[in-house]
């Protein structure tokens, strides 16, 4: 163990965003609630999210320099903190040589990967994978995939979770109800399959109050989709309010892409919607059915017809809908679906790896 601090309290250097509602920041908060000392470094401090074309061009020209500066900053932070654990959430800019240098300090490096694919994210991410002491992925396919692509076996499945600070029932104000109240909502990014589902719903159930929150690409589709679009992604507690005030929250899954990104079967929304006390109507997958009991803790659908039929049914049966929403939240609490629970798994893996290092003379 680096340093002389109590073994129950770790020094953790985390690659994370710094705003409430960010999935990575939820882990930072969870680690701190566990009593650990956490220093968070955000990629956004180095890689600006400029939108205009001239500034995006400047960012592209400077990207290599930005990535190098960012990795040097990580090394400086690691040398100052001397962390027991480097926790990387996605870490698209973290280079393999940076991980090697941090591990040479005696630090355990653990990745929690939340996305569907790798190659489209960055070349640094793909090359750095073998340098992690352990790689948790929210996608089951990645476990065998990384073994095949990298000969890498230090990988396991760990699903997303809900943030108990953020994804919780919230007492709504009149303003909240006016802003977020609706019959059906989808909150998330756009894809061809998601767009088709929303277009079908809007065409066949246009009398309902249907809302979409997400990137402006939704508005650019025009027609009924653009009319249903209520604005950019709702974040933090506003996201929880939108879930609570939507009578039905859709769990639409990404279908995968030609660049190697695999289809989703579970997403962060799978746990955030019931965690916030919302009623969840989710695409039917084996994994969703394993985590929530259909028609008791959530409702699953297989196609557009079933989705629309169940929307009409549950809008007409308020008591059933509310009971399922309450049972879904209770399942999240009882079954350990929070980021606090996921963080405990990560810390347990840290201790397992540290023990292995001690027993093998720290020969990694």
| Domain hosting residue 303, numbered range | 174-335
Encoded tokens for 313: 């049914």
Does the structure show a pLDDT above 70 at 287? yes
What pLDDT shows up at residue 359?
A: 75
Please tell me whether residues 19 and 117 are part of one structural domain.
yes
Confidence class for position 2, pLDDT limits 50, 70, 90: very low
Q: Cα–Cα distance between 314 and 247 in angstroms, integer?
A: 9
Please tell me whether residues 150 and 189 are part of one structural domain.
no
Which tens digits make up the pLDDT trace of 12-22?
999 999 999 99
- For residue 88, what is the domain's CATH number? 3.40.50.2000
DSSP for residue 20: T
Instruction: Classify residue 46 as exposed, middle or buried by CB count within 10 Å of its CB (0-12, 13-18, 19+).
Output: middle
Please tell me whether residues 151 and 184 are part of one structural domain.
no
Strand pairing category for 11-15 and 85-89: parallel
Please tell me whether residues 123 and 254 are part of one structural domain.
no
Which tens digits make up the pLDDT trace of 90-125?
999 999 999 999 999 999 999 999 988 776 677 888
Strand pairing category for 155-157 and 134-137: parallel
Mean pLDDT, all residues of the chain: 92
Residue 5, in any domain of the structure: no
Give all strands (DSSP E) within the chain, no chain letters.
11-15, 37-41, 85-89, 108-113, 134-137, 155-157, 182-187, 210-213, 229-231, 246-251, 280-283, 299-301
- Do 124 and 96 meet the contact criterion of CB atoms below 8 Å apart? yes
Work out the average pLDDT over 287-312: 98
Please tell me whether residues 328 and 257 are part of one structural domain.
yes
Does the structure show a pLDDT above 90 at 230? yes
Residue 137's DSSP bridge partners are 113, 157
Work out the average pLDDT over 344-362: 87
Please tell me whether residues 205 and 145 are part of one structural domain.
no
Please tell me whether residues 108 and 236 are part of one structural domain.
no
Please tell me whether residues 102 and 212 are part of one structural domain.
no
Comparing C-alpha atoms, which of 12, 56, 50, 18 is closest to residue 34? 12
Does the structure show a pLDDT above 90 at 327? yes
Residue 184, in any domain of the structure: yes
What pLDDT shows up at residue 165?
A: 96
Residue 364, in any domain of the structure: no
Comparing C-alpha atoms, which of 192, 174, 240 is closest to residue 213? 240
What pLDDT shows up at residue 1?
A: 40
Which residues, 6 or more positions from 139, have their beta carbon under 8 angstroms from its beta carbon? 113, 116, 157, 262, 264, 265
DSSP for residue 303: S
Classify 90 as helix, strand or coil. coil
Q: Cα–Cα distance between 18 and 47 in angstroms, integer?
A: 14
- Do 292 and 279 meet the contact criterion of CB atoms below 8 Å apart? no
What pLDDT shows up at residue 63?
A: 74
- Do 327 and 361 meet the contact criterion of CB atoms below 8 Å apart? no
What pLDDT shows up at residue 295?
A: 98
- Do 118 and 132 meet the contact criterion of CB atoms below 8 Å apart? no
Encoded tokens for 113: 């990967």
Does the structure show a pLDDT above 80 at 163? yes
Residue 305, in any domain of the structure: yes
Which tens digits make up the pLDDT trace of 4-56?
344 589 999 999 999 999 999 999 999 999 999 999 999 878 776 767 777 66
Residue given tokens 């297989």 in the structure block: 302
What pLDDT shows up at residue 240?
A: 97
Please tell me whether residues 26 and 81 are part of one structural domain.
yes
Work out the average pLDDT over 51-65: 73
Q: What is the DSSP string of 163-195?
A: -TTTSS--PPPHHHHHHH-EEEEEES---HHHH
Encoded tokens for 267: 């997403």
Residue 246's DSSP bridge partners are 182
Please tell me whether residues 211 and 322 are part of one structural domain.
yes
What pLDDT shows up at residue 178?
A: 97
What is the domain count for the chain? 2
What pLDDT shows up at residue 55?
A: 62
Which tens digits make up the pLDDT trace of 133-149?
999 999 988 888 888 88
* Furthest CA-CA distance within the chain: 68
């Amino acid at each position: 163990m680096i340093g002389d601090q109590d073994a129950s309290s770790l020094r953790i250097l985390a690659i994370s965003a710094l705003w409430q509602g960010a999935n990575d920041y939820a882990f930072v908060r969870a680690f701190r609630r566990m009593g650990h000392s956490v220093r968070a470094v955000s990629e956004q401090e180095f890689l600006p999210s400029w939108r205009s074309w001239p500034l995006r061009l400047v960012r592209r020209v400077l990207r290599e320099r930005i990535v190098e500066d960012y990795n040097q900053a990580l090394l400086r932070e690691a040398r100052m903190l001397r962390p027991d654990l480097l926790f990387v959430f996605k870490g698209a800019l973290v280079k393999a040589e940076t991980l090697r240098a941090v591990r040479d300090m005696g630090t355990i490096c653990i990745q929690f990967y939340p996305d569907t694919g790798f190659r489209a994210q960055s070349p640094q991410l793909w090359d750095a994978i073998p340098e992690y002491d352990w790689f948790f992925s929210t996608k089951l396919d990645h476990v065998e995939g990384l073994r095949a692509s990298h000969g890498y076996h230090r990988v396991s499945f760990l699903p997303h979770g809900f943030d108990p600070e953020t994804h919780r029932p919230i007492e709504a104000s009149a303003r909240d109800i006016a802003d977020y109240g609706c019959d059906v909502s989808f909150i998330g990014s756009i894809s061809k399959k998601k767009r088709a589902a929303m277009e079908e719903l809007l065409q066949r159930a246009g009398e309902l109050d249907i809302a979409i929150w997400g990137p402006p690409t939704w508005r650019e589709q025009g027609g009924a989709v653009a009319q249903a679009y209520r604005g950019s992604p709702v974040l933090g507690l506003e996201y929880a309010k939108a879930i609570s005030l939507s009578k039905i929250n859709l769990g639409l899954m990404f279908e995968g892409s030609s660049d190697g990104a695999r289809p989703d079967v579970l997403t962060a929304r799978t746990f955030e919607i019931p965690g916030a006390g919302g009623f969840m109507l989710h695409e039917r997958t084996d994994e969703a059915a394993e985590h929530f009991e259909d028609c008791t803790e959530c409702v699953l659908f297989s196609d557009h017809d079933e989705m629309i039929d169940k929307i009409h049914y549950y809008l007409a049966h308020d008591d059933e809908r509310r009971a399922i929403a309450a049972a879904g939240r209770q399942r999240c609490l009882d079954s350990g679906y929070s980021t606090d629970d996921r963080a405990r798994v990560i810390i347990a893996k840290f201790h397992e790896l540290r023990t292995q290092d001690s027993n093998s003379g720290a020969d990694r």
